[in-house]
Amino acid sequence: MTKGTILSGMRPTGPLHIGHLVGALSNWASLQDSYRCFFMVADWHALMSEYESPEVVREATLQVAIDFMACGLDPERSTIFVQSDVPEHIELYMAFSFVTPLGWLERCPTYKEQLRNITDRDISNYAFLGYPVLQAADILVYKADTVPVGEDQLPHLELTREIGRRFNHLYGGIFPEPQAMLTNAPRFLGLDGRKMSKSYGNYISLSDTAEDIRAKVMTMFTDPQRQRKSDPGRPEICNVHRYFDIFAPDEAREVADKCRKAEWGCTDCKMRIAEILESRISPIRERQAALMADPAEVEDILTRGAQQARDVAEATMAEVRPAIGLKGTRR
Ligand code: TRP
Ligand code: SF4
């Protein structure tokens, strides 16, 4: 049986955190043997909104590539690359812009929402409107059929299919119809009970030390009615308990019991979850350190990744160029 092809990516806008690990990277790592996988650091996509901070994106690009590998993406089994190293993405993006009506982009719910919510950066530019067109090119330049993403990306997947369909209709059937693979990732909140966000700084990052982790966990909100250790607590409304559900499901019931019966205090409880988080993060931190100590090796992996990616992307473009009226010479 031929394997399906997966492509997914993340925008390098800052260091990755446990939300990325649980929400995406653990899942991606588990797919590597069953699919032909392409995992991309989407630096062009990051720049569409962060173009005023090139140094942030430049630094985060390498960091995210390192974090991918530290979290178990394996360059021996998957193609790990940086989007801008594969210029075919931009070329297909241009071709797709022919067949993408402005209305599709203007109506895209993620676009409308970001225009409303992002106020500290100027995203009223031409590029940002075309964000989903580049995403369609990312996916279809590899003829990927499966795209593991979170729910927030579903409108982009729908546009990818529509763009591919319109292209196929006009120029002949080159592209498959990719499906989203919804990561049934457990949802969990930041340390302060709000959505994890770079601007709130309310998360445990993949490079936090044991000491950082303990200090951050100690700031977590618990059951506000539990003032003293002798007060019975309500694990069902406690964010710390949610972390047990996710990071130590086999302990969660016992923890809830001890909380309800006031058999241990919130500090005891937090010390335990800090320990659990540390045991999950320390191997990642060690792999990060090893990779950071060998930047030439990381460069080498990304160069090989880009080469593998280009081989596939070039084959697709060799079909696309003549179909849309270009001379179509192979590079
Ligand atoms: N838009 C995605 C996000 O913000 C990142 C991304 C870019 C992506 N290109 C992609 C995801 C292609 C999946 C497939 O998370
Ligand atoms: Fe939350 Fe644990 Fe405190 Fe209970 S004991 S309220 S689960 S931190």
Is the pLDDT score of 2 beyond 90? no
Is the pLDDT score of 184 beyond 80? no
273 occurs within a structural domain: yes
Token code pair at residue 293: 């100590």
DSSP code string of 43-62: HHHHHHHHTT-HHHHHHHHH
Report which bound ligand comes closest to the CA of 256: 2
Question: Do 176 and 82 sit in the same domain of this protein?
Answer: yes
Name the helix (H) or strand (E) containing 185: none
Question: Do 39 and 115 sit in the same domain of this protein?
Answer: yes
CA-proximal residue: ligand 1, atom 13 (nearest): 8
Atom of ligand 1 nearest to the CA of 45: 7
pLDDT of residue 3: 87
Cβ(135)–Cβ(124) under 8 Å? Answer: no
Tens of pLDDT, residue by residue over 195-224, are 998 888 899 999 999 999 999 999 999 999
Question: Do 14 and 123 sit in the same domain of this protein?
Answer: yes
pLDDT of residue 95: 98
Report which bound ligand comes closest to the CA of 264: 2
Name the helix (H) or strand (E) containing 190: none
Question: Do 20 and 140 sit in the same domain of this protein?
Answer: yes
Q: What is the CATH number of the domain that holds 242?
A: 1.10.240.10
Report which bound ligand comes closest to the CA of 245: 2
Tens of pLDDT, residue by residue over 5-35, are 999 999 999 989 999 999 999 999 999 999 9
Indicate the pLDDT class of residue 119, thresholds 50, 70 and 90: confident
Question: Do 43 and 169 sit in the same domain of this protein?
Answer: yes
Burial of 146 (0-12, 13-18, 19+ CB in 10 A): buried
pLDDT of residue 40: 98
Question: Do 79 and 19 sit in the same domain of this protein?
Answer: yes
Ligand 2 lined by 239 (C-beta under 6 Å)? no
Is the pLDDT score of 314 beyond 70? yes
Is the pLDDT score of 97 beyond 80? yes
pLDDT, average across residues 215-239: 95
CA-proximal residue: ligand 1, atom 5 (nearest): 10
CA-proximal residue: ligand 2, atom 5 (nearest): 266
pLDDT of residue 239: 96
**Rounded mean pLDDT of the chain?**
95
pTM, 2 dp: 0.94
Question: Do 51 and 176 sit in the same domain of this protein?
Answer: yes
Token code pair at residue 321: 């160029």
pLDDT of residue 221: 92
91 occurs within a structural domain: yes
Is the pLDDT score of 289 beyond 90? yes
Q: Which of 221, 238, 251, 257 to mutate to test the pocket of ligand 2 (most atoms within 8 A of CB)?
A: 238
DSSP code string of 239-277: HHHHHHHHH-HHHHHHHHHHHHTT-S-HHHHHHHHHHHH
Give me the domain span that covers residue 221.
Answer: 210-289
Question: Do 8 and 145 sit in the same domain of this protein?
Answer: yes
Question: Do 306 and 283 sit in the same domain of this protein?
Answer: no
Q: What is the CATH number of the domain that holds 303?
A: 3.40.50.620
Cβ(82)–Cβ(41) under 8 Å? Answer: yes
Find the 41 Cα to ligand 1 centroid distance in Å. 9
List ligand 1's pocket residues with C-beta within 6 A: 7-11, 42, 45, 135, 138-139, 147, 149, 153, 156
